[in-house]
């Protein structure tokens, strides 16, 4: 019997080490032998596949079609939009040698694909009939990082980037706002993570955008994490790349554009939000499997009967598109397997022993809360689906409570700093809307403005930094 | 009305220009503004999605799970297996700068992932309980190319690479052979492209493999194309990377490995094989859509009725998971639309006019052969499915005939050269099995040995090059 070592760090005591241990031991991912990079192992990649599947359906239903553009971006393209270039140039990986040949111009590996795509758009778009153009790509992205945090911050990561082109500002506004809703649905109803939505400040917006809108969540250690963004790009890129169309009256106009993306860091946020000191906890809708069946027997004659029943149960559930693992490995005790599957985050464990076979029942155990129920075989399918739904909702409700408890309202900079020191979370405060105050606060405390809420909230104090008249209520936090 | 220009090159006259025109005008792909690279446009990428979906299901059913490894491979890793390195080093793109930092060791962008994966395998595998390990990744690959042929030969392309690890040689042999069958099923039953299967010569095998097995097809211009390979890697990599396991008796052993892959060049082979002088022709099972509905009307009162019916037809077909486009664009005549959808390879066109609405019927037109039938609405679904199945089979049968007509048997080098000059295709010939003859033939004619058939064929002449005693009947061809 292999020695089993569970999670040894506590979530409440050493969040960062606990997180790494969960990710590594549940075999979601591994460090790669290349600085800043990681390996998505099967359990982790399967979660990404489930996220892709859910989101891909939603965006295709909106008329978006998938594409694939080259990952190499000539430096001169990146440079075309000056703000964009200065935002990304310092974190690009550069290819300088192709085969035996030293390149005349170095190529960036895409940190995002606006520039390479928009050169093509300028060739594809001629008339109002070609609009709207809505495309998306699922791909790898490279942004050079010195620090590594599995899933959350790595030099190479996976994401999707949607890019849409419109005739009018209004259409582009609508697209950017509607995609926020698509993302919120994904995060809240699939990942069970509630989010705060709002507009980024000028300082925090995407390099090259007119406006950036963001979905922000809070993690149990009190740090915020940006889970997705949509950008109203305005005509910034279309003017630089010459993306024009003839409108219904034969008049030439520049297009309006949006881009939007979420990345594999979503997986990190799921792990942090839901897991506990026993290991991984996963929302069923994106879990790499739904149910593990652990057969329990001691004698050979029991074994055959129990395994036969276990296979029947597996089939019944699989017919309804549930993903089921039958753990019939030999040489491990049931107790050892229970621990292993708790560590690995299986939403439901079904135990079947000789008595259960006889009584036509199974024992079902939830991963999210300690609850063990005996279920009649005739109720198996119904009860499994119900439990999965309950787990999904329970995880969301717990996370929602966490979010609510982690929003503090402050009126002074002293209070602000005190909250940051003790509890962190989102800090709701009034701001004069001057970038200088924002900058100073970041320098002095590390906190940034995560969002300006869409629905303007009532001003309740002067600017917490300069004490001049406040113009906005905003949400600050330290962030991943 | 926009001017419409169809395919102006003839397949039989200028195959290469015809091919490019089809790919560009049917909007499968575009050249990228980066040397050697291409853009997968929505129609082309959707074909890749259909191929991925079909193959992914098949390999998952075999117990393979998907992963994602970093695309950066330190040069020292690539160098570990000497043969492997010499096979790939000259075509790598090299990253030498990461962010602001000049790298100490340059990083290759994966030309294939054996070396980066096998470092991880050596950490993951300890015991016979950890085997077999079967993983796969869908990703982008870079191999520096000077010449570009859309889909077929580009610096960056998309592929899947499967990697499996086994206890014994026999298990690895079995995996490599069974994956060949999976690929054959994909190519013949989804892409409608018949293949010749066999073993590669020592000279042509994958750099680092014990044996390479390949699936080869013939294109209408007489050139062969390698559509997929599986490799029995033996213990070449496991010895270099130290991938060992303790067997049931506690004895330490090196593992046996396989790898296997197909790439987005499959799309190129589909286009070349099936398309005609009017445009793209696609096998329905991988087509980006199955049916286009073109409504036909001249008066406003007709329009409403016809469009209503068209939408009903669309719904009926979509309920059965068929992908349907309703071309209700205004400002284009039905005739213009017919041409457009022929060019773009829609397998079935459904025409609905006022008379059809009245008679409760539609007109169905096949893309692969000139056939137009009137179908009662009550038969719509059944007939559509039948037609799609017929098109799928008809395309395969035509391609099968092409393959059969393009296998020539020769007994002398003179005959060999004559066939290469006039007709090309596969040339079945006897060979002494000496690499020197193989090398000389390539130098003098450009033809290579594509396959040694698994079932040894009866020797019917001396070696065509050296005239010494032949040991193998093999298939030569010029290849893409």
In chain B, what residues touch A91 (CB-CB under 8 Å)?
99
CB–CB contact A32 B70 (8 Å): yes
Q: How far is A319 from chain B (nearest CA, A)?
A: 15
| pLDDT higher than threshold 60 for residue B286 | yes
Quick check: A98 and B155 CB within 8 A? yes
Closest residue to B34, CB basis, from A70, A146, A155: A70
Of A30, A49, A65, the CB nearest to B120: A30
Compare all CA atoms of chain A with the CA of B122 and give the residue at the minimum distance.
A33
Are B42 and A65 inside 8 Å of each other by CB?
yes
Cβ separation of A77 and B33 shorter than 8 Å?
yes
pLDDT at B362: 98
**Closest-approach residue (CA) in chain A for B77:** A33
In chain A, where the domains are located: 15-274, 289-387, 407-477
Superfamily of domain A289-387: Anticodon-binding domain (3.40.50.800)
- What angle is formed at CA B396 by the lines to CA B229 and CA B159, rounded to 5 degrees? 30
CA distance between the termini of chain B: 40
pLDDT in tens, B19-52: 999 999 999 999 998 989 999 999 999 999 999 9
Among candidates A67, A92, A139 on the partner chain, residue whose Cβ is nearest the Cβ of B39: A67
Please count the other Cβ atoms lying within 10 Å of the Cβ belonging to residue A301: 10
Q: Which range is least confidently modeled, A44-58, A194-208, B80-94, B336-350?
A: B80-94
- Residues B140-182 have pLDDT tens digits of 999 998 889 999 999 999 999 999 999 999 999 999 999 999 9
Q: Is the Cβ–Cβ distance between B68 and A39 less than 8 Å?
A: yes
**Contacts across the A-B interface (CB distance below 8 Å):** 159
In 3D, which of A415, A401, A407, A409 has the Cα closest to residue A224? Answer: A407
For residues B17 and A130, give the distance between their C-alpha atoms in angstroms, rounded to a whole number.
Answer: 26
Joined together, the tokens standing for residue A329 give 């490995």
B92 and A99: CB-CB below 8 Å?
A: yes
Q: How far is CA A5 from CA A2, A342, B324, B450, in A?
A: 10, 12, 54, 52
Quote the minimal CA–CA distance from A119 to chain B in Å. Answer: 8
Does B37 sit within 8 Å of A72, measured CB to CB? yes
Task: Round the CA-based radius of gyration of chain A to a whole number and report it.
Answer: 25
CB contact under 8 A, A42 and B33: no
Indicate the Cα dihedral angle A281, A284, A289, A294, nearest 10°: 70
Ordered DSSP codes for B281-343:
---GGG-S-SEEEEE--SSHHHHHHHHHHHHHHHHHHHHTT--EEE---SSS-HHHHHHHHHH
Give me the helix-helix angle, A413-422 and A435-445, nearest 10°.
40
Instruction: State whether A71 and B41 contact (CB < 8 Å).
Output: no
State which CATH number among 3.30.930.10, 3.20.20.60, 3.40.50.300, 3.40.50.2300 fits the domain covering B15-274. Answer: 3.30.930.10
Q: Indicate yes or no: CB of A49 within 8 angstroms of CB of B39.
A: no
Distance of CA B324 to the CA centre of its chain: 25
Cα A80 to Cα A89, A94, A170, A209, A242, distances in angstroms: 12, 17, 26, 14, 11
Asked if B34 lies within 8 A of A67 by C-beta distance, the reply is no
CB B257 within 8 A of CB B179: no
In tens, the pLDDT along A346-364 reads 999 999 999 999 999 999 9
Residues of A with CB below 8 A from B332's CB? none
Cβ of A77 within 8 Å of Cβ of B107? The answer is no
| Burial class, A80, CB count within 10 angstroms (exposed 0-12 / middle 13-18 / buried 19+) | middle
Whether residue B173 contacts residue B278, with contact meaning beta carbons closer than 8 Å, is answered with: no
Exposed / middle / buried, residue A101 (Cβ in 10 Å: 0-12, 13-18, 19+): exposed
Instruction: Provide the shortest C-alpha distance from residue B264 to chain A (in Å).
Output: 11
Name the residue of chain A whose CA is nearest to B98's CA: A93
Rounded to 10°, the helix A169-189/A42-60 angle is 140
CB contact under 8 A, B107 and A37: no
- Calculate how close chain B gets to A164, using CA atoms only, in Å: 13
Residues paired with residue A242 on neighbouring β-strands, in sequence order: none
User: Long-range contact list for B25-29, CB < 8 A, 24+ apart?
Assistant: B25/B279, B25/B343, B26/B279, B26/B280, B26/B343, B26/B344, B26/B345, B27/B344, B28/B150, B28/B151, B28/B267, B28/B271, B28/B280, B29/B150, B29/B151
Query: Contact at 8 Å (CB) between A285 and A188?
Result: no
Res B1 pLDDT > 50: no
> Is pLDDT above 90 for B472?
yes
B interface test, pick of A24, A34, A127 with most B CB neighbours within 10 Å: A34
Nearest CA among A446, A421, A443, A441 for reference residue A429: A441
Handedness of CA A194, A200, A201, A203 (dihedral sign): positive
- Residue range B340-362: mean pLDDT, rounded: 97
Taking contacts as CB-CB distances below 8 angstroms, the residues of chain A near B155 are 72, 98
- Element spanning B408, H or E: strand B407-409
- Predicted local confidence at residue B244, as pLDDT: 98
- Look up the CATH number of domain B407-477: 3.30.110.30
ipTM above 0.95? yes
Among B100, B107, B156, the residue with its CB nearest the CB of A71 is B156
Shortest Cα distance, chain B CAs vs residue A146, angstroms = 9
Task: Read off the pLDDT of residues B181-201 as tens digits, 9 standing for 90 and up.
Answer: 999 999 999 999 999 999 999
Residues A136-164 as b or e (16 or more Cβ within 10 Å = b): bbbbbbbbbbeeebbbbbbbbbbbbbbbb
| pLDDT per residue as tens, chain A (480 positions) | 455 689 999 999 999 999 999 999 999 999 998 989 999 999 999 999 999 999 999 999 999 999 999 999 999 999 998 888 898 999 999 999 999 999 999 999 999 999 999 999 999 999 999 999 999 999 999 999 888 999 999 999 999 999 999 999 999 999 999 999 999 999 999 999 999 999 999 999 998 999 999 999 999 999 999 999 999 999 999 999 999 999 999 999 999 999 999 999 999 999 999 999 999 999 999 999 999 999 999 888 899 999 999 999 999 999 999 999 999 999 899 999 999 999 999 999 999 999 999 999 999 999 999 999 999 999 999 999 999 999 999 999 999 999 999 999 999 999 999 999 999 999 999 999 999 999 999 999 999 999 999 999 999 999 999 999 999 999 999 999
CATH homologous superfamily of B289-386 equals Anticodon-binding domain (3.40.50.800)
Are residues A94 and B93, on separate chains, in Cβ contact within 8 Å?
no
Return the exposure string of B359-376: e unless at least 16 CB atoms fall within 10 Å of the residue's CB, then b.
Answer: eebbbbbbbbeeeeeebe
Nearest residue, CB atoms, B66 vs list A42, A129, A144: A42
Structure-block tokens of residue A437: 């105050």
In this structure, the number of other CB atoms found within 10 A of the CB of residue A27 comes to 16
Please name the residue of chain B whose CA is at the shortest distance from the CA of residue A66.
B42
d(CA B361, CA A148): 63
Q: Which residue in B45, B72, B94 is closest to A66 by CB distance?
A: B45
Chain B residue numbers touching A97 (CB-CB < 8 A): 93-94, 96, 106
Measure CB to CB from residue B158 to each of A40, A68, A120 and give the nearest one: A68
How far is the alpha carbon of A340 from chain B, nearest alpha carbon, in Å? Answer: 15
Find the CB nearest A37 among B34, B72, B90.
Answer: B72
Tokens of A282: 């996963």
pLDDT of residue B4: 65
Check residue A82 and give its pLDDT: 87
Distance of alpha carbon B60 from alpha carbon B53, whole angstroms:
11
User: For A31, which residue in chain B has the nearest alpha carbon?
Assistant: B120
DSSP-derived secondary structure letter, B457? P
Q: Which of A39, A97, A120 lies nearest to residue B94, judging by beta carbons?
A: A97
Q: What are phi and psi of B467, to 5 degrees?
A: 65, 10
Residue of chain A with shortest Cα separation from B71: A156
B101 and A30: CB-CB below 8 Å?
A: no
Give the chain A residue whose CA is nearest to the CA of B330. A129
Q: Is residue B137 within 8 Å of residue B160, measured between CB atoms?
A: yes
Q: In what helix (H) or strand (E) does residue A453 lie, and over which residues does it extend?
A: strand A448-453
């Amino acid at each position: 019997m292999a020695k089993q070592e569970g999670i040894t760090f506590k979530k409440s005591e050493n969040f960062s080490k606990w997180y790494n241990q969960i990710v590594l031991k549940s075999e979601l991912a591994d460090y790669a032998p290349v600085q800043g990079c990681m390996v998505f192992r099967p359990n982790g990649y399967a979660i990404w596949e489930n996220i892709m599947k859910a989101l891909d359906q939603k965006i295709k239903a909106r008329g978006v079609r998938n594409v694939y553009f080259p990952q190499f971006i000539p430096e001169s393209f990146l440079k075309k939009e000056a703000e964009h270039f200065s935002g990304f140039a310092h974190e690009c990986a550069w290819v300088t040698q192709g085969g035996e040949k030293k390149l005349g111009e170095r190529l960036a590996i895409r940190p995002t694909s606006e520039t390479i795509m928009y050169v093509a758009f300028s060739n594809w778009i001629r008339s109002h009939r070609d609009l709207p153009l809505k495309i998306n790509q699922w791909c790898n992205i490279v942004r050079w990082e010195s620090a590594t945090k599995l899933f959350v911050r790595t030099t190479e990561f996976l994401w999707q980037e949607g890019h849409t082109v419109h005739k009018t500002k209004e259409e582009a506004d609508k697209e950017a706002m509607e995609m926020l809703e698509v993302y919120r649905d994904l995060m809240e109803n699939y990942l069970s993570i509630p989010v705060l939505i709002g507009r980024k400040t000028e300082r925090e917006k995407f390099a090259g955008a007119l406006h950036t809108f963001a979905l922000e969540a809070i993690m149990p250690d009190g740090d915020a994490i940006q889970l997705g963004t949509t950008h109203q790009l305005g005509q910034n890129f279309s003017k630089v790349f010459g993306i024009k169309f003839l409108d219904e009256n034969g008049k030439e106009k520049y297009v309006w554009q949006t881009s939007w993306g979420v990345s594999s860091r979503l997986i990190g946020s799921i792990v942090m939000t839901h897991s506990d000191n026993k290991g991984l906890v996963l929302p069923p809708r994106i879990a790499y499997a739904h149910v593990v069946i652990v057969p329990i027997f001691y004698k050979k004659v029991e074994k055959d009967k129990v395994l036969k029943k276990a296979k029947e149960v597996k089939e019944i559930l699989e017919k309804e598109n549930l993903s089921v693992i039958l753990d019939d490995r030999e040489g491990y005790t049931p107790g050892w397997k229970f621990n292993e599957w708790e560590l690995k985050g299986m939403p439901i464990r079904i135990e079947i022993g000789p008595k259960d076979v006889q009584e036509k029942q199974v024992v079902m155990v939830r991963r999210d809360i300690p609850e063990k129920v005996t279920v009649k075989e005739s109720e198996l399918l119904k009860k499994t689906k119900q439990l999965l739904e309950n787990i999904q909702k329970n995880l969301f409700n717990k996370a929602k409570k966490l979010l609510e408890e982690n929003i503090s309202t402050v009126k002074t900079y002293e209070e602000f700093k005190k909250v940051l020191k003790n509890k962190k979370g989102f800090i709701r405060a009034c701001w004069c809307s001057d970038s200088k105050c924002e900058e100073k606060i970041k320098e002095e405390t590390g906190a940034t403005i995560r969002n300006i809420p869409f629905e303007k909230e009532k001003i309740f104090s002067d600017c917490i930094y300069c004490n001049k008249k406040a113009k906005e209520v905003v949400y600050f936090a330290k962030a991943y």
